[in-house]
Structure 1
């Protein structure tokens, strides 16, 4: 799948504002999230290692992004981030990651279009009701009347957050950054 290249140097770089600093070491609450593959997923109950990358939103082809999208630090890049996890999927399997999920506040039917269009080999999870975002105090932002997740990635072994990547920039390197960290921290 060919994507339009993004010139990351023309976008504002997000800074670490500390809004995710409380997450490392936190236990995940028992909350079921709808997945694009039809399951209800409770991240706190997953066996083994999980990677969850949170992203603001994907836009369907021909649909404009929200106003001023490119001036919001860290907003642009949801498709490149998802594709990076798709392209490193086999590598994560070799690193013994049992689960990869994308997470956004979009509803499941909307997310299913992205899974199909981007040929993602993993499910996206919907936190449309913001239950997980509120329980974990995930960083969010408001735009065009929507509450969206700020981009971050969590490494979660057995229901506890071990590592948080925040902010994530550029998003197309998200998966390789996580894979490199996992390789350097394997016992």
Structure 2
């Protein structure tokens, strides 16, 4: 495993992910009814939420001082989960003003995610898909590193339980909230 370094800033010269078409099937799909544990202590079923919901899916957050998986910086799109979460935190009020609720989603368990919510002071919940039921039901793109199957970075915009927009691939991760805001603003105009 490599050293994490500064989790809040991305190193230069990261490989840029390419659109491999792995999310082309998602726009227009209904979100499956799969209860997901939340860092707020409850269960969230994204299929039942009315209005606009933004779900940014990310591989895994790191922790300061803990090593990254071997070759992490060489995997296109893997690095940047903390930067992306912080960017959604920083743009949270703008997203709310556009009528959107925000969730982050990874395959990490809820206890692990709670540490990230507290450390990063996230004003929204993180959802755990540790058993991959949600990812498999939607056929979300994944990759494997050090025996961990992780979701590739993507963002879903869901309206009344139906996927209306997919951002994939997402790069650089910290720009993702701005792209979502621009799309939502254009849709309302």
Alignment TM-score > 0.5, same fold? yes
Q: Return the match for 2:127 from 125, 128, 131.
A: 125
2:10 is paired with a residue of what secondary structure?
coil
What is the CA distance between 1:6 and its match in structure 2?
A: 2.0
1:163 is paired with a residue of what secondary structure?
strand
Structure 2 length-normalised TM: 0.95
Q: Return the match for 2:68 from 65, 74, 77.
A: 65
What is the CA distance between 1:5 and its match in structure 2?
A: 2.9
2:188 is paired with a residue of what secondary structure?
coil
CA-based RMSD: 1.2
Q: Return the match for 2:9 from 5, 9, 13.
A: 5
Q: 2:176: which partner in 1? A: 174
**Aligned-partner Cα distance in 1 for 2:129–2:59:** 11
**Aligned-partner Cα distance in 1 for 2:66–2:44:** 29
Gap regions ≥5 residues in structure 1: none
Matched, 1:109 2:111: yes
1:61 is paired with a residue of what secondary structure?
coil
Q: 1:32: which partner in 2? A: 35
Q: Count the aligned residue pairs.
A: 184
Matched, 1:18 2:25: no
Q: 2:92: which partner in 1? A: 89
Structure 1 115/4 Cα, relative in aligned 2: closer, same or farther at 3 Å?
closer
**Aligned-partner Cα distance in 2 for 1:4–1:93:** 23
TM superposition outliers: structure 1 runs of 4+ over 6 Å:
none
